[in-house]
Amino acid sequence: MKQLFLPTAMSALAMLAACSSGDHGRGSDASDTASEAATGVMSEAAMAEKKAGFTSEVRELAFDPVSQLPKAPASAASRSECAGQVIDAKSAAAREVAKAGWGVTGEAKLGAYQLVSFAGSFEPGTSGSCFVSKGNIGVFEGTALRAIAYARSSSKETIGRIQPFGKDGARIWHGDIVPAPIADIRRSAQGLVIGKLAAEEKTCGGAVPTINDMPITHARKALIAAGWTPANHGVPDDHIDEREQALALLGVTEVESCSGTGFGYCSFDYRKGKAKLGVTTVGDNEDPTVSDYGVSCD
């Protein structure tokens, strides 16, 4: 179901190798990686990545050093069905991506590089949700494309969007109905590196530990340890919603509200000095898991 778009603008050498082996895509990357692990010899694709200054430490994701933006598939027209997932292009690079027919889903600036996430398929779901697939991240200098980050054909992940992370990074989110972060992009001495999720994010209000996918009772402990104070929205009897009452009964007094329909989102509030941290959970179970958070500073 989660078949991803794989870059077609490969180097001439890679195209010749694919043709000679009878492989018409990038599906051989998984075996290349396995070969590297077994022999200690870097694959041709990995060497091309490293030479170009773009590397990945995450098995499911890779860079392809290319200079030509692939043509958007016909399915990219479905972006109109998920308007909430497609953003207006701000940078010149993002405008080039949009002009090529892709749905632009995110932008981030890392030093001289402009990152633009884009996708070629959008499937609307319930409660305004959307499954985003055929996703990639373009790495530009100005409007010149330097590389494309993509999910390997053997991966179960999709690339849905990117967003700025901390002062000099970008976070990659998958394209599932309920998005979650899967990796970070950071600058290196040579260029860019795709790495595992950072343990924390530096924000205007201080460090926020990575709490995505944690049950809220575990997440609040991590936040308290990091200096964030839970808001007090009252005892169980102060809430009308049964889920809010149940969470307050567990001692999660910072629960502000819960949705009675859809994905069962709940919101929670924390403070540190003048900074405000809002946390969102998903699911209607007793201890819902964190799906997102945001920090604002007065």
C-beta of residue 21 within 8 angstroms of C-beta of residue 13: no
Q: According to the model, what pLDDT value does residue 14 have?
A: 36
How far is the C-alpha of 144 from the C-alpha of 113, rounded, in Å?
10
Q: According to the model, what pLDDT value does residue 143 have?
A: 97
The reported pTM is 0.80
Q: According to the model, what pLDDT value does residue 136 have?
A: 97
DSSP letter (8 states) at residue 155: -
Is the per-residue pLDDT at 266 higher than 70? Answer: yes
Q: According to the model, what pLDDT value does residue 128 have?
A: 81
**With bands split at pLDDT 50, 70 and 90, how would you rate the model's confidence at 20?**
very low
Q: What is the mean pLDDT of the chain?
A: 85
In this predicted model, what pLDDT tens digit does every residue of 90-103 receive, in sequence order?
999 999 999 999 99
Q: Of 16 and 193, which is predicted with more confidence?
A: 193
Q: According to the model, what pLDDT value does residue 6 have?
A: 44
Contacting residues for 298 by C-beta, under 8 A, at least 6 apart: 274, 275, 276
Is the per-residue pLDDT at 298 higher than 90? Answer: no
Query: Please, where are the H alpha helices in the chain?
Result: 12-21, 29-39, 44-52, 92-99, 216-225, 242-249
Q: According to the model, what pLDDT value does residue 74 have?
A: 95
Contacting residues for 56 by C-beta, under 8 A, at least 6 apart: 49, 62, 63, 149, 193, 194
Q: What is the CA radius of gyration of the chain?
A: 21
Is the per-residue pLDDT at 32 higher than 60? Answer: no
**With bands split at pLDDT 50, 70 and 90, how would you rate the model's confidence at 10?**
very low
In this predicted model, what pLDDT tens digit does every residue of 148-172 receive, in sequence order?
999 999 888 899 999 999 888 999 9
